Chains A and B, each alone.
Chain A
Amino acid sequence: MPKHYRPAGKKKEGNVAKYVTRSQAVKLLQVSLVTFRRLCILKGVFPREPKKKVKGNHHTYYHLKDILFVKHDPLLEKFREMRTYEKKLKKAQAKRNKDLYERLRTRKPTYTLDRLILERYPKFVDALRDLDDCLSMVHLFAALPALERENIEVKRIHNCRKLSHEWQAYIARTHKLRKVFISVKGIYYQAEVDGQKITWLTPHALQQVLPDDVDYSVMLTFLEFYETLLAFTNFKLYHSINVKYPPILDPQLEALAEELYALSRYLDANTRSSRASGSDQVEGQENEKQHDESDLRLAQLQHQLPHNEPGALMHLVEDAAGEDEDDEDTKDCKNLFKDMKFFLGREVPRESLLFVIPAFGGIVSWEGDGAPYREADQSITHQIVDRPTQGHIFLSREYIQPQWIYDCVNARVILPTEGYLVGRVPPPHLSPFVNNEAEGYMPEYAETIKRLQAAARNEVLPMPGTGQEDLEDPQRLLVEGIIDRTEAKEATEKKRKMETLKEQYHDELKMEIEGATYSSMINRNTESNAASGEAREESVPDLEQTAEDGANMAKIVMSRKKRRLLEAIEIGKKRKQANVDLLKERKKKNEAGQTSKAK
Chain B
Amino acid sequence: MGAAGKKEKTTKKKEAKDARGLKHEEAEERVMEEAPRARSEPEAPDGGGSPVDSGSDYEDYSEDGDSDFELSEEDLESGEEGAAGSGSDQDDSEDGNSEEFELSESGGSDSQEHKGFVKTSNKGKSIINHAQDDSGSEISESDQRAEESDSSEDEVPSRNTIGDVPLEWYRDEEHIGYDVKGKKIKKKERQDKLDSFLASADDSKNWRKIHDEYNDEVVELTKDETRLIRRMLKGKAPHAGFDPYPDYVDFFKWDDAKHPLSNAPEPKRRFIPSKWEAKKVAKYVRAIREGLIKLDKPKEEPRFYNLWGDDLNSKDRAGHLAYIPAPKPKLPGHEVSYNPSLEYIPTQEEINSYELMYEEDRPKFIPRRYTSFKSVPAYENAVNESFERCMDLYMSYRAWKKRLNIDPESLKPKLPNRKDLKPYPVTCYLEYRGHEGAVVSISTEASGQWIASGSADGTVRIWEVETGRCCGVWSIGESVQCVSWSPLSELPILAVAAGQDVLLLNTGLGNEEDQKKIKDLLQVEISGTAGDSDEQPLVSWLQDDRHKHEAIRLRHFKTVTSVEWHRKGDYLSTVTPADILVVWYFMTMHLFDGAILIHQLSKKLTQKIPFKLHGLPVTSVFHPSRSIFFVSTKKNVRVYDLLKQKLVKKLETGLREVSSIAIHPQGDNLIVGSREGKLCWFDMDLSSQPYKTLQCHSKDITNVAFHRSYPLFASCSDDCTAYVFHGMVYSDLNQNPLIVPLEILRGHVSSNGRGVMDCKFHPRQPWLFTAGADSVVRLYCH
Pairwise interchain contact B341-A428, C-beta atoms closer than 8 A: yes
Which of B318-326, B572-580, B625-633, B647-655 lies on the face that meets chain A? B318-326
A389 at the interface (CB under 8 A from B): no
Contacts of A445 in B (CB 8 A): 341
The proximity string for A residues 550-594 relative to B, scoring 1 for CB distances below 8 Å and 0 otherwise, is 001111111010110110011000000000000110110110000
The proximity string for A residues 524-562 relative to B, scoring 1 for CB distances below 8 Å and 0 otherwise, is 000000000010000000000100010011111110101
Pairwise interchain contact A46-B386, C-beta atoms closer than 8 A: no
Q: Which of B308-353 contact A (CB under 8 A)?
A: 308, 311, 314-317, 320-321, 323-326, 328-329, 331-334, 336-347
Contacts of A245 in B (CB 8 A): 304
Pairwise interchain contact B387-A218, C-beta atoms closer than 8 A: yes
Pairwise interchain contact A206-B378, C-beta atoms closer than 8 A: yes
B542 to chain A, nearest CB (A): 47
- When A347-B374, A401-B372, A557-B741 are in contact, do A136 and B339 touch as well, CB less than 8 Å? no
Pairwise interchain contact A433-B331, C-beta atoms closer than 8 A: yes
- When A133-B393, A556-B741 are in contact, do A431 and B333 touch as well, CB less than 8 Å? yes
The proximity string for A residues 40-70 relative to B, scoring 1 for CB distances below 8 Å and 0 otherwise, is 1100101111000000000011010110010
B4 at the interface (CB under 8 A from A): no
A232 to B302, CA, bound (A): 11
The proximity string for A residues 107-120 relative to B, scoring 1 for CB distances below 8 Å and 0 otherwise, is 00000101001111
Closest to A406 in B: B373
A467 at the interface (CB under 8 A from B): no
A140 to B382, CA, bound (A): 8
Q: Which of A110-145 contact B (CB under 8 A)?
A: 112, 114, 117-124, 127, 129-130, 132-133, 136-137, 140, 144
Closest to B367 in A: A184
A430 to B343, CA, bound (A): 12
- When A129-B325, A569-B408 are in contact, do A433 and B332 touch as well, CB less than 8 Å? yes
B524 to chain A, nearest CB (A): 48
Pairwise interchain contact A570-B333, C-beta atoms closer than 8 A: no
A186 at the interface (CB under 8 A from B): yes
A204 to B379, CA, bound (A): 8
- When A65-B320, A590-B343 are in contact, do A349 and B334 touch as well, CB less than 8 Å? no
Which of A209-217, A302-310, A374-382, A490-498 lies on the face that meets chain B? A209-217
A199 to B331, CA, bound (A): 8
Pairwise interchain contact B394-A114, C-beta atoms closer than 8 A: no
B22 at the interface (CB under 8 A from A): no
Pairwise interchain contact B317-A182, C-beta atoms closer than 8 A: no
A219 at the interface (CB under 8 A from B): yes
Contacts of A349 in B (CB 8 A): 373-374
Pairwise interchain contact A428-B339, C-beta atoms closer than 8 A: yes
Pairwise interchain contact A119-B413, C-beta atoms closer than 8 A: no
Q: Which of A181-213 contact B (CB under 8 A)?
A: 181-186, 188, 199, 203-204, 206-211, 213
Contact partner of A586 (CB less than 8 A), chosen from B347, B411, B412, B413, is B347
Pairwise interchain contact B334-A443, C-beta atoms closer than 8 A: yes
B471 to chain A, nearest CB (A): 33
Pairwise interchain contact B417-A534, C-beta atoms closer than 8 A: yes
Pairwise interchain contact B376-A184, C-beta atoms closer than 8 A: yes
B253 at the interface (CB under 8 A from A): no
A40, A61, A122, A129 interface centre (most CB from chain B within 10 Å): A122
Contact partner of B328 (CB less than 8 A), chosen from A132, A218, A246, A583, is A132
Q: Which of A487-514 contact B (CB under 8 A)?
A: none
Which of B183-191, B198-206, B396-404, B555-563 lies on the face that meets chain A? B396-404
Pairwise interchain contact A140-B383, C-beta atoms closer than 8 A: yes
A445 to B334, CA, bound (A): 11
A371 at the interface (CB under 8 A from B): no
A275 at the interface (CB under 8 A from B): no
Contacts of A144 in B (CB 8 A): 383
Contacts of A300 in B (CB 8 A): none
Question: Main secondary structure on chain B at its contact with chain A?
Answer: loop
Q: Size of chain A's interface in residues, with CB distance under 8 A? A: 105
B130 to chain A, nearest CB (A): 55
A403 at the interface (CB under 8 A from B): yes
- When A184-B379, A347-B374, A586-B343 are in contact, do A558 and B412 touch as well, CB less than 8 Å? yes
A545 to B720, CA, bound (A): 14
Contacts of A553 in B (CB 8 A): 741-742, 744
- When A114-B307, A181-B337 are in contact, do A386 and B373 touch as well, CB less than 8 Å? yes
Pairwise interchain contact B378-A209, C-beta atoms closer than 8 A: yes
Pairwise interchain contact B376-A204, C-beta atoms closer than 8 A: yes
A222 to B380, CA, bound (A): 21
A239 at the interface (CB under 8 A from B): yes
Pairwise interchain contact B397-A48, C-beta atoms closer than 8 A: yes
- When A426-B339, A557-B740 are in contact, do A433 and B373 touch as well, CB less than 8 Å? no
Pairwise interchain contact A590-B306, C-beta atoms closer than 8 A: no
B324, B374, B746 interface centre (most CB from chain A within 10 Å): B374
Pairwise interchain contact B332-A431, C-beta atoms closer than 8 A: yes
Pairwise interchain contact B739-A557, C-beta atoms closer than 8 A: yes
The proximity string for A residues 429-448 relative to B, scoring 1 for CB distances below 8 Å and 0 otherwise, is 11101100001000111000
A222 to chain B, nearest CB (A): 5
Contact partner of B324 (CB less than 8 A), chosen from A46, A207, A219, A403, is A46
B696 at the interface (CB under 8 A from A): yes
A120 to B370, CA, bound (A): 42
A235 at the interface (CB under 8 A from B): yes
- When A428-B339, A565-B411, A570-B408 are in contact, do A118 and B308 touch as well, CB less than 8 Å? yes
Contact partner of A403 (CB less than 8 A), chosen from B339, B346, B394, B695, is B339
B418 at the interface (CB under 8 A from A): yes
Contacts of B316 in A (CB 8 A): 122
Contacts of A204 in B (CB 8 A): 376-379
B696 to chain A, nearest CB (A): 5
Pairwise interchain contact B340-A429, C-beta atoms closer than 8 A: yes
Pairwise interchain contact A185-B314, C-beta atoms closer than 8 A: no
Q: Which of A371-429 contact B (CB under 8 A)?
A: 386, 401-403, 425-426, 428-429
- Known interface pairs A431-B332, A431-B334; 7 further A-B residue pairs with C-beta atoms within 8 A, sorted by A's residue number: A183-B332, A222-B393, A431-B333, A557-B740, A569-B404, A586-B345, A586-B347
Considering the complex of A and B, which 5 residue pairs feature the smallest CB-CB distances, nearest first?
A433-B331, A206-B378, A587-B343, A428-B341, A553-B741
Interface set of B (CB-CB < 8 Å, partner A): 303-308, 311, 314-317, 320-321, 323-326, 328-329, 331-334, 336-347, 365, 367-368, 370-374, 376-387, 389-391, 393-399, 404, 406, 408, 411-413, 415, 417-419, 694-696, 723, 739-744, 746
Interchain residue pairs with CB less than 8 A apart (20): A60-B395, A120-B323, A122-B314, A123-B311, A136-B389, A137-B390, A140-B383, A181-B337, A184-B336, A186-B379, A186-B382, A232-B307, A239-B306, A386-B373, A403-B373, A431-B334, A566-B412, A586-B346, A590-B342, A590-B343
